[in-house]
Structure 1
Amino acid sequence: MTEFILDPQQIEAKSMSIIRSGLTRNWLEKEYPVVERLIHTSGDPSLEQVIAIHPQAIDCGLQALKNGSRVITDVEMVRAGIAKEKLKSLGGSVECYLNAPEIAQQAKEWGITRSMTAFRMHPERLQGAIIAVGNAPTALLEVLRLAEDPETRPALIIGIPVGFVGAKESKDLLWQHQEIPSITVLGTRGGSPLAATVVNALIYTALRKVNEIT
């Protein structure tokens, strides 16, 4: 009979040890928490090959969290997966405008998706924020458009939409914009759990740094 590890901390430690031992790319030490948690959440070691982390992404994300930055998500599922109490302890909050009453009607008038509309109607909220897109490629396209203006440029874009229509292309476009710090998973794979797990990896790293100082 198989003996299972039942202690949550032991399970996580063992999982991360297995993941770390199987990594094949030369990641920076500060990138490991993001890489390991993406693989852990997906259960797919091959995901490592399509993870793309901008050289300034980790530092910019941690600085934003240190400054009490807001995290803005494209859908409620990403927002639900974020460690909101931990983020709150850093002075931050999570926002998602998708289900605001005015969004559906405005999206219909503009002839675009609700997720795209949600960002377009709140451009002033993006400056200095961490944007986490895990579902809608159109939302990522709108964020990239808004990021062209320094007044609406986020501190970090976590762009991991999933699917076969526009997802790969939107992430390729994100990665081409090297003037904007970003974290993505290239190709068709992605999803809300992966976007949320990147945010959480940054949150827990930021909390560790705070604890080390205090």
Structure 2
Amino acid sequence: MPYVYEKDGAAIYRQSFATIRAEAALGRFAADEEPVAVRMIHAAGMVELAEHIAFSPGFVGAARDALARGAPILCDARMVSEGITRTRLPAANPVICTLTDPAVPALAERLGTSRSAAALTLWRPLLAGAVVAIGNAPTALFHLLEMLEAPDCPRPAAIIGCPVGFVGAVESKAALWAARPAPCCVVHGRLGGSAITVAAINALASTKE
């Protein structure tokens, strides 16, 4: 039997964002943060996510300025890199995930850590002024923070730290929020994930909803 449902993609987005704005507690976000939070909530499918999202001062401006300059987007997982909508990127920005680099398994063994963390070692030549998107592995976020403790380590322009899970996710995001080595966005607690991280990047890349 035929079902009655909305088939227009643009209308679905409009209705979804209107629902989020009607139901989510968005009042504490600055004007430039609100559209980013809305997209993150949309990706999660839960308005309660608003309570967990935090932006450090100047994060949105720093991330958008970096993207406009053509900064690379460094991703911890293929699920993040593949989800970024290339047509939204303002300067054909390189989207880079080093997790599948052939050097990573040996690096992980030598460093005694996960492949997700070891892969970040290959970011160092690209890190200056980059936009970092970590949406999967807490070990990657911890390793990034360890790297950035070195005075000679290049600094990214902005960090999205939204790893998900039950082991290390809460702690790694709390550590990022405490250290703030660059302007950052986090989803506090166990929530997070690739889809939410991708949504943040896509919102930062273009103001078009």
Partner of 1:75: 77
Specify the SS of the correspondent of 2:191.
coil
Partner of 2:19: 18
- Aligned-pair CA distance for 1:197: 0.9
Partner of 1:93: 94
Query: Within 2, Cα distance between the matches of 1:140 and 1:179?
Result: 12
Query: Within 1, Cα distance between the matches of 2:175 and 2:134?
Result: 14
- Aligned-pair CA distance for 1:52: 0.6
The amino acid of 1:165's aligned partner reads V
Partner of 1:65: 67
**RMSD of the alignment, in Å?**
1.6
Matched pairs, number: 205
The amino acid of 1:100's aligned partner reads D
- Aligned-pair CA distance for 1:179: 4.7
Indicate the structure with greater helix content: 1
- Aligned-pair CA distance for 1:189: 0.7
Specify the SS of the correspondent of 2:176.
helix
- Aligned-pair CA distance for 1:151: 4.3
Specify the SS of the correspondent of 2:32.
helix
Please say if 1:121 is aligned against 2:138. Answer: no
Comparing 102-111 and 147-156, the one that deviates more? 147-156
- Aligned-pair CA distance for 1:22: 1.6
Give aligned-pair identity as a percent: 37
Partner of 1:55: 57
Please say if 1:165 is aligned against 2:167. Answer: yes
Specify the SS of the correspondent of 2:173.
helix
- Aligned-pair CA distance for 1:178: 3.5
Task: Note if contact 2:74-2:123 (Cα within 8 Å) is conserved in structure 1.
Answer: no
- Aligned-pair CA distance for 1:150: 6.0
Partner of 2:108: 107
Specify the SS of the correspondent of 1:30.
coil
Query: Which of these residues, 43, 46, 58, is aligned with residue 44 of structure 1?
Result: 46
The amino acid of 2:137's aligned partner reads A
* Cα offsets for 1:16-37 (capped at 9, x unmatched): 1111112323221111111101
Task: Note if contact 2:148-2:181 (Cα within 8 Å) is conserved in structure 1.
Answer: no
Task: Note if contact 2:71-2:93 (Cα within 8 Å) is conserved in structure 1.
Answer: yes
Specify the SS of the correspondent of 2:129.
coil
Query: Which of these residues, 183, 193, 198, is aligned with residue 196 of structure 1?
Result: 198
- Aligned-pair CA distance for 1:147: 2.6
Partner of 1:181: 183
Query: Within 1, Cα distance between the matches of 2:81 and 2:73?
Result: 9
Give the TM-score, by structure 1 length: 0.90
Task: Note if contact 1:147-1:154 (Cα within 8 Å) is conserved in structure 2.
Answer: no
Structure 1 unaligned spans of 5+: 209-214
- Aligned-pair CA distance for 1:158: 0.3
Alignment of 1:129-140 (within 5 A): 129-140=130-141
Task: Note if contact 1:158-1:184 (Cα within 8 Å) is conserved in structure 2.
Answer: yes
Moved over 4 A (4+): none
* Cα offsets for 1:8-60 (capped at 9, x unmatched): 11111111111111232322111111110111111101111000111111000
Task: Note if contact 1:84-1:93 (Cα within 8 Å) is conserved in structure 2.
Answer: no
- Aligned-pair CA distance for 1:84: 2.2
Query: Within 2, Cα distance between the matches of 1:160 and 1:129?
Result: 17
The amino acid of 2:82's aligned partner reads A
Query: Within 2, Cα distance between the matches of 1:13 and 1:122?
Result: 37
The amino acid of 1:131's aligned partner reads V
